[in-house]
Amino acid sequence: MSTTAPRPHPGLTEERLAWLLERLVAHHGEQHWWPAETAFEVLVGAILTQNTAWSHVERAMEQLRVAGLLDPVALIEADPEEVATAIRPAGYFNVKTRRLRNLCITYLQEGCMEGMQLQRTEALREKLLAVNGVGRETADDILLYAFHRPVFVVDAYTRRILQRLGWIQGDEGYERLRGGVEAALGPNTAAFNELHAQIVALGKDTCRPTPRCPDCPLNAACAHAAGDAAGPAA
């Protein structure tokens, strides 16, 4: 029947993911994402945070707010140079200016939050992906954190952490990993919300490119901390 839904990932079990979420919440406390004022700001933040630290996004958002540009119509009608200047701290300011504009146009065409909320998740996802500048992760950020749909967001941190744990290979496709987590935890918006936020926190603070395993709340069960790091290392 479904040709788009990948089969569940064997290494991603409900037990493991529930354990992961519990351990991370115990270590960081609840993250209660998304850190934005309004649902529209979630869409803006989702573009601005592409390959960019959130601290820089916050400054860009504040400058948009001050300039009166934190509004879909204002963003579309504004001089692109003014938008680019406002979001400069977030980097990629020229591409992101175009992407914000593209997203705002679709947002208005689709009837803003009210109109889009009426659509089924898969249809809405396709509409978001059709926007130039919105890829799978950005679309899923929006679906989960603005529309509260039970969609799990896979990012670079997710891959790195799950791979080091030894639960996945690491080269699986995006949809495979998303589907794997979703199948294991069931359609649970609150769990997907918190798990992704916790994964980001761990990826930033502990499970970094050079991992700080001694400080990691997962090290007792982690293949990487146990020394199973892949590669020809001695």
Partner DNA sequence: CTCCGGTGGG
Partner DNA sequence: CCCACGGGAG
Contact set with DNA (CB under 7 A): 33-35, 49-56, 88-96, 131-139, 141, 155-157, 197, 200, 203-204, 208-209
Q: What is the CA radius of gyration of the chain?
A: 19
Structure tokens at 171: 């080269």
Closer residue to DNA, CB minimum distance, 1 or 47: 47
**Closer residue to DNA (CB): 9 or 196:** 196
**CB 185 within 8 Å of CB 16:** no
Least distance (Å) from DNA to the CB of residue 44?
13
Q: Least distance to DNA from the beta carbon of 98, Å? A: 9
What is the C-alpha separation between 208 and 202, in angstroms, rounded?
8
Q: How far apart are the first and last CA of the chain?
A: 47
* Planar angle of CA 197, 68, 143, nearest 5 degrees: 30
CB 23 within 8 A of CB 217: yes
Residue closer to DNA (CB basis): 118 or 230: 230
Nearer to DNA, 13 or 129 (CB): 129
Give the shortest CB-155-to-DNA separation in angstroms.
5
Least distance (Å) from DNA to the CB of residue 55? 6
